[in-house]
Amino acid sequence: MTKSELIEALARQQPHLAQKDVELAVKCIIEKMNQALSSGERIEIRGFGSFSLHERPPRMGRNPKTGDSVALAKKYVPHFKPGKELRDRVDESRGKCKIID
Amino acid sequence: MALTKADFAERLFDELGLNKREAKEMVELFFEEIKGSLENGEQVKISGFGKFELRDKNSRPGRNPKTGEEIPITARRVVTFRSGQKLKARVEAYAGAE
């Protein structure tokens, strides 16, 4: 499923809204999630999961071309922990359907 | 304070003028639709955010970390999230507040 398929599915379920408004709403939710994470704020959606940042400590890296050492600063990466309901529903579907892209 | 569904609904109310009931429903349906897709074995790719992927894991030996007792971890299907380039770059730029 892609973002545009998600928008279509949500528009079908809310026929009282214009497709354009559904599209704006989806973009608004995604932008809010991006903003929250890039300012270090956690997101907690009951039954779905939580998004947070994990710290990666500073390390010495290498330029793969020249072999020179470079100091890499500490950084943060986004992390998602699925909630119990999502975990259970996905696991229960294991025997029923194959994974498709 | 973590962001919750209520915060997203408020944003839709403030920015798009959906009424409170519509905004709340939109947020519910948004996350429910992603769950439903994953439950049908379909991975979800949201450009500008990231991809929710599915993985089938074989069973493997495990241990109760408290007692040291060996217990097998059963085969299961799990969800993983890979953030997209844009989100990665924005988060990397975060200097850390604490």
> pLDDT tens, A9-68?
999 999 999 999 999 999 999 999 999 999 999 999 999 999 999 999 999 999 999 989
Give the pLDDT confidence score for residue B97 in this predicted structure: 59
Q: Do A29 and B11 touch (CB under 8 A)?
A: yes
C-beta pairs of A3-7 under 8 Å, 24+ apart in sequence:
A3/A30, A3/B45, A3/B46, A3/B47, A3/B48, A6/B30, A6/B33, A6/B34, A6/B37, A6/B44, A6/B46
Report chain A residues whose CB lies below 8 A from the CB of B55.
99
Residues of A in contact with B87 (CB under 8 A): 34, 37-38, 78
Query: What pLDDT is recorded for position B70?
Result: 92
- Facing residue for A97 by CB, picked from B40, B47, B76: B40
Note the pLDDT of residue B96.
67
Q: What is the pTM of this model?
A: 0.91
Cβ of A76 and B44 within 8 Å? no
Q: Flag whether residue A56 sits within 8 Å of chain B, measured between CB atoms.
A: no
